[in-house]
Amino acid sequence: MLKVRESNFRKFYNKIFRREKDITRPKVMNVVVFVIFALYCFTLLYPLFWAFLAALKTNNEYMLVNKNGFPLAPTFSNFVTAYKSMSVTGTSMFAMIFNSIWYSAVGAFLNVFVCAVTAYVLARYKFIGHDFLYGLAILVMVLPIIGSLPSQYKIYNLLGISGSPLMLVTCIGGFGFNFIVLHASFKSIARDYMEAAFVEGAGHFGVFFRVMLPQAVGTMGALFIVMFIDRWNDYTTPLLFLKGMPTLSTGLFIYKTIMNRRMEMPVYFAGIFICCIPTVILYAFFQNQVMNVSFGGGIKG
């Protein structure tokens, strides 16, 4: 009987923690690491779950009766209230969502596209000034510039782009993290494709747009998603430079500051969950692409 029990336990253990074909997993460490990872995941998920439960409670229940338990009478009305009542400096939540979309999507697209163009030219062509520009791109990444914010503030105001969608021109960039990733990506594409296209009579623009760019779409898509999410969650830049056009992240921060103690926390929790929905959906659908972003050779050399 004991033998049968042992063998069942062994089967269960093997099923969970080992795979016959996979020799790369250390056995004891696998269990220890699994436990540590599971605990860490619990700490990341539980607070969100707790906040979600809080968003399903009435303010009275949350404040006076039942702050930590399951809602006595779950209600989604806080989500509707959040959508209707959370307005900041005359901007409704709908307008904030709209601002978030253009700020994130157009900004991310501009940056990734321009980085792709720069990366392709520097990865695939040798021309006068090539080494200088590549060196500059690396230098920009490792130069420890601190606190250029005051100067940015002055210059953006001087250019008249502060407080308007024209702020998006600041996203163009062309160098930086995305450049490094895309440079590695274009370097890894076989030169034969390019040469075959030239032999077939394609021009430089044709080769780029019709042969090379489609091959980097996967990497570009992953970078777009990462950048979109990053900009969606960014609250400092819109706070300083898009004062009349709060995005959802900025709006939630301002709303919290304005309302302070008068704020109904369940409604606020509902608001922050509305803010999360697009990024969570994007990440859920494209997590495999995002996970494959790599530096290639990095900035070494």
Partner 1 sequence: MREFFKKLFTDRDDMPKSLRRGKYVFCYTMLIPTIVSFAVFYVWVNFNSILMAFQVNTGGRNYIYSLDSFRQIIEFLGRPDHDLRIGLNNTLIYFAVGVCINLPLTYLFSYFLFKKVTGYKFFRVIFMLPSMISGIVYVTVYINVLGFDGPVYTLVKKLFGYEIPSLLANNATATPTIIMYTLWTGFGTSVILFQSAMNRLPREVIECGQLDGISWVRELFQIVTPMIWPTVYTMLVLQVTGIFAGGGPILLFGTNGGNRTMTLSFYIFRAVYEGAGTEFPAAVGVFFTLFSFPIVLIVRYVLGKVDPGVEY
Residue 275 sits in the site that holds partner 1 (CB under 8 A): yes
Q: Which of 23, 39, 73, 190 binds partner 1 (CB under 8 A)?
A: 23
Residue 39 sits in the site that holds partner 1 (CB under 8 A): no
Q: 79 or 268: whose CB is closer to partner 1?
A: 268
Cα separation, 255 vs 209, whole angstroms: 45
Tokens for 181, please give them. 């990733």
Q: How many residues bind partner 1 (CB under 8 A)?
A: 105
Burial of 56 (C-beta count, 10 Å sphere; 0-12/13-18/19+):
buried
Q: Which of 2, 20, 70, 150 binds partner 1 (CB under 8 A)?
A: 150
Minimum Å gap between C-beta 125 and partner 1 is 5
Residue 147 sits in the site that holds partner 1 (CB under 8 A): yes
Q: Which of 38, 39, 73, 190 binds partner 1 (CB under 8 A)?
A: 38
Residue 154 sits in the site that holds partner 1 (CB under 8 A): yes
Q: Which of 14, 30, 60, 89 binds partner 1 (CB under 8 A)?
A: 30
CA dihedral (56, 57, 58, 64) in degrees, to 10, reads -160
Cα separation, 224 vs 275, whole angstroms: 19
Cα separation, 63 vs 266, whole angstroms: 9
Tokens for 229, please give them. 């999410």
Bridge partners (DSSP) listed for residue 88? 91
Cα separation, 289 vs 157, whole angstroms: 38
Minimum Å gap between C-beta 284 and partner 1 is 8
Residue 289 sits in the site that holds partner 1 (CB under 8 A): no
8 Å CB contact between 250 and 103: no
Q: 25 or 84: whose CB is closer to partner 1?
A: 25
Q: 102 or 295: whose CB is closer to partner 1?
A: 295
Q: Which of 95, 97, 101, 293 binds partner 1 (CB under 8 A)?
A: 293
Minimum Å gap between C-beta 16 and partner 1 is 6
Q: Please, which of residues 168-197 interact with partner 1 by CB under 8 A?
A: 169-170, 172-175, 180
Q: Please, which of residues 225-264 interact with partner 1 by CB under 8 A?
A: 226, 229, 232-233, 235-236, 239-240, 249, 252-253, 256-257
Residue 190 to residues 123, 237, 297, Cα–Cα distance (Å): 12, 39, 16
Binding segment toward partner 1, per CB under 8 A, in 3-11, 83-91, 101-109, 285-293? 285-293
Cα separation, 273 vs 244, whole angstroms: 23
Q: E-assigned strands of the chain?
A: none
Place of tokens 């539980």: 46
